[in-house]
Chains A and B, each alone.
Chain A
Amino acid sequence: MKKENKLKLNIQAILTDLLFWIYIFGCASFLMNHWFEKVIPNNFVVIFGIVVGLITFILGISVGRKVFLPTIKTDRKWHKTFWGWSVFFILLITFVVGWNLVEVDLYKLFAKFRNAGGIMGGIFNPNTDIFVLCLSALAETIYLALLATVFAIPLAFILSFFAARNLMPRTFLGNTVYIIVRTIATVFRSIEAIVWAIIFSVWVGIGPFAGMLALMIHSIASLTKLYSEQIENIDPGPVEAIKATGASTLQTWIFAVVPQIISPYLAFTIYRWDINVRMATIVGFVGGGGIGLLLLQQQQLLRWQNVGMIIWLIAIVVWIMDMVSAKVREKLQEM
């Protein structure tokens, strides 16, 4: 047991060191190319990384050892140790590479402010004539967010029971169901709503329906996760007590689990609707319809006064939603 553990820690330490140095040489190679147009072959980078990583590991001065096998006395200040300087160096080189990759250009930021004049002007002088047109697009956005949330609630509610570790028995069937539901929810959640919107705008065509489907899928996945975590945090006592009365599994869920989760569920759901309204505008940009689509169109036509009007309306709606949802959640807490 102990030996096995030691081996595992050693492997983790070596791997850390190798990756550490391969990364540093990779960054160095990028900078060489970027600044001096000198190409360093990739296998050189890897070989150098491995050699230096191994040497520092063997000498016992490496970061991997420091993290996984802390035999080195720790009372020395970091700037008197090799690992301290290596960490400092990796942070520095990461920052330098980042600066170059992102093409940070302070000159552009300050000197070219005039370019934003059109849109700024639009914001301070919005075109109120399109107010009615905007309202109907806005309604589309709000209602698509609402429908996405409403459709997601029952599905996520049911799925969350199967994604809760404490409710799924540790039998083969129980574990399988748990793992499948969890994995799907995690994967679907990690795909952003905007990506779903692209998929659905191809599938069902550009418009609010595509946006609704995108938000619904994303909401189901994230509500399932939030809900199931809530279930995992319930007091197990009542569950035990209800089971002991001879209740069936379903009765136990309804009588011992549901009453404990109802009010946090409501809070999460309202929060979700709030998020969905914001996301609905973004999703509109890529084919989800509503105010987002209108904004995109007006921006491409360079109608800055119309854009200004739309931005104001979005800001107001988001602000109202924010307040309402905070108020409702506050009330729920008191219940």
Chain B
Amino acid sequence: MKNIIELKNLHKVYATGTHALKGIDLEIKEGEFCILLGLSGSGKSTLLRCLNRLIEPTSGDIIIDGIDVVAAKGKQLRYIRRKIAMIFQQFNLIRNLSSLTNVLTGKLGYSSLVHSLTFPQHKKDTKIALENLKRVGLKEFAEKRTRNLSGGQQQRVAIARALMQNPKVILADEPVASLDPATADSVMRYLGELNKKDNMTVICSLHFLSLARKYGTRVIALKDGKIVFDGTPKEIDEKRFKEIYGQDAEEVEIR
């Protein structure tokens, strides 16, 4: 399998002086399900947001699907972004709009301004959006405003929005951290399905080892902006776990 993501010596220093990423070197192969572990503040969100340039990296190289992400500007950056979908802890849906419209926004990277303002007139887009909603089991919620949905349902709408982008890579920043355990597992199951069936590469930050073992094909752990572990989920034993999360940490099970 070819590398879909290559990072070379990636650094991020915030305007406040915080050195959040300290030289990340990483290669991720197409089809991997990568779990990012690490304490709060270890740099997981920063790393994920550098990949689609929601945050500007300070130095280093990012190559995604053969394209230099750091050098991209304007239109080119839009083309890259639409191939990389993102899922957030807080779902980040537009709460006043319907699920269907929210899913349609996944198409924005492909649409002109006029096209995007007349989404309801484009039957083909609507059809695909409805299919995506159906895929996450929310077809009957299409017309409902997303603020009336439960957390799990909102995250599934967010997954349908991501699907709308027809992405090669999915970045998920603690997608289940605001959900109860059962819902968390069901959301992870959808991500797992996209990874296996649609061959989308997933990079997902998590706090639960049990979920990492269940869905991840690879685990990368960050500590103070550096990679401190890179291997398979099975390789993480208690000793490794304590290295990542500190001596006092206890593993919490979630099934």
Given A245-B106, A260-B94, do A237 and B113 touch, yes or no (CB 8 Å)? no
23 A–B contacts, CB within 8 A, in A order: A237-B88, A237-B91, A238-B93, A240-B54, A240-B88, A241-B86, A241-B158, A242-B105, A244-B54, A244-B81, A246-B77, A246-B79, A246-B80, A246-B165, A247-B105, A247-B108, A247-B116, A248-B78, A250-B113, A251-B108, A251-B111, A251-B113, A254-B117
Closest partner residue, chain B, to A256 (CB atom): B94
Is B232 on the interface with A (CB-CB < 8 A)? no
The size of the chain A interface, using a CB distance under 8 A, is: 20
Q: In the complex, are the beta carbons of A237 and B92 less than 8 A apart?
A: yes
B residues 121-165 with Cβ under 8 Å of A?
Answer: 158, 161, 165
Is A243 on the interface with B (CB-CB < 8 A)? yes
Given A243-B81, A247-B78, A248-B78, do A255 and B108 touch, yes or no (CB 8 Å)? yes
Among A240, A254, A262, point to the contact of B92 (Cβ < 8 A): A240
Is B109 on the interface with A (CB-CB < 8 A)? yes
CB distance from B68 to the nearest CB of A (A): 17
Considering the chains assembled together, what is the distance between the CA atoms of A260 and B109 in angstroms?
A: 21
Is B82 on the interface with A (CB-CB < 8 A)? yes
A residues 238-297 with Cβ under 8 Å of B?
Answer: 238, 240-248, 250-251, 254-256, 259-260, 262-263
**Secondary structure class of chain A's binding surface, majority of residues:** helix
Considering the chains assembled together, what is the distance between the CA atoms of A238 and B94 in angstroms?
A: 6
Chain A residues lying within 8 Å of B108, measured Cβ to Cβ, are: 242, 245-248, 251, 255
Chain B residues lying within 8 Å of A251, measured Cβ to Cβ, are: 108, 111, 113, 116
Q: In the complex, are the beta carbons of A248 and B94 less than 8 A apart?
A: no
Given A238-B94, A260-B96, do A246 and B81 touch, yes or no (CB 8 Å)? yes
Chain A residues lying within 8 Å of B113, measured Cβ to Cβ, are: 248, 250-251
CB distance from B83 to the nearest CB of A (A): 8
CB distance from A273 to the nearest CB of B (A): 23
Considering the chains assembled together, what is the distance between the CA atoms of A248 and B74 in angstroms?
A: 8
The size of the chain B interface, using a CB distance under 8 A, is: 33
Considering the chains assembled together, what is the distance between the CA atoms of A196 and B90 in angstroms?
A: 47
Given A244-B85, A246-B110, A262-B96, do A255 and B105 touch, yes or no (CB 8 Å)? yes
Among B82, B91, B92, B161, point to the contact of A246 (Cβ < 8 A): B82
Is B84 on the interface with A (CB-CB < 8 A)? yes
Is B52 on the interface with A (CB-CB < 8 A)? yes
CB distance from A303 to the nearest CB of B (A): 54
B residues 143-191 with Cβ under 8 Å of A?
Answer: 158, 161, 165
CB distance from A190 to the nearest CB of B (A): 32
Is B67 on the interface with A (CB-CB < 8 A)? no
Considering the chains assembled together, what is the distance between the CA atoms of A241 and B108 in angstroms?
A: 11
Among A243, A244, A255, point to the contact of B94 (Cβ < 8 A): A255
Is B97 on the interface with A (CB-CB < 8 A)? yes
Considering the chains assembled together, what is the distance between the CA atoms of A107 and B96 in angstroms?
A: 61
Q: In the complex, are the beta carbons of B78 and A244 less than 8 A apart?
A: no
Q: In the complex, are the beta carbons of B88 and A245 less than 8 A apart?
A: no
Considering the chains assembled together, what is the distance between the CA atoms of A248 and B105 in angstroms?
A: 12
CB distance from A335 to the nearest CB of B (A): 9
B residues 52-80 with Cβ under 8 Å of A?
Answer: 52, 54, 77-80
Among A237, A254, A259, point to the contact of B96 (Cβ < 8 A): A259
Chain A residues lying within 8 Å of B81, measured Cβ to Cβ, are: 243-246
Considering the chains assembled together, what is the distance between the CA atoms of A262 and B90 in angstroms?
A: 22
Chain B residues lying within 8 Å of A263, measured Cβ to Cβ, are: 96
Considering the chains assembled together, what is the distance between the CA atoms of A247 and B108 in angstroms?
A: 5
Q: In the complex, are the beta carbons of B54 and A243 less than 8 A apart?
A: yes
Q: In the complex, are the beta carbons of A259 and B94 less than 8 A apart?
A: yes
Considering the chains assembled together, what is the distance between the CA atoms of A274 and B160 in angstroms?
A: 44
Among A242, A246, A247, A254, the most chain B Cβ lie within 10 Å of the Cβ of A246
Considering the chains assembled together, what is the distance between the CA atoms of A251 and B95 in angstroms?
A: 17
Chain B residues lying within 8 Å of A242, measured Cβ to Cβ, are: 94, 105, 108
Closest partner residue, chain A, to B90 (CB atom): A237
Chain B residues lying within 8 Å of A260, measured Cβ to Cβ, are: 94-96
Considering the chains assembled together, what is the distance between the CA atoms of A110 and B94 in angstroms?
A: 62
CB distance from A36 to the nearest CB of B (A): 61
With A244-B86, A251-B116, A255-B108 already in contact, 17 other A-B pairs whose C-beta atoms are closer than 8 Å? A237-B88, A237-B91, A241-B86, A242-B105, A243-B54, A244-B52, A245-B81, A245-B82, A245-B107, A245-B161, A246-B81, A246-B110, A246-B165, A247-B105, A255-B116, A259-B94, A260-B96
Given A237-B88, A240-B54, A254-B117, do A247 and B94 touch, yes or no (CB 8 Å)? no
Considering the chains assembled together, what is the distance between the CA atoms of A242 and B101 in angstroms?
A: 12
Closest partner residue, chain B, to A255 (CB atom): B105
Closest partner residue, chain B, to A236 (CB atom): B92
Chain A residues lying within 8 Å of B106, measured Cβ to Cβ, are: 245
Q: In the complex, are the beta carbons of A244 and B105 less than 8 A apart?
A: no
Chain A residues lying within 8 Å of B110, measured Cβ to Cβ, are: 246
Q: What are the 4 closest A-B residue pairs judged by CB atoms, nearest first? A: A246-B109, A246-B82, A247-B108, A241-B92
Chain B residues lying within 8 Å of A244, measured Cβ to Cβ, are: 52, 54, 81, 84-86
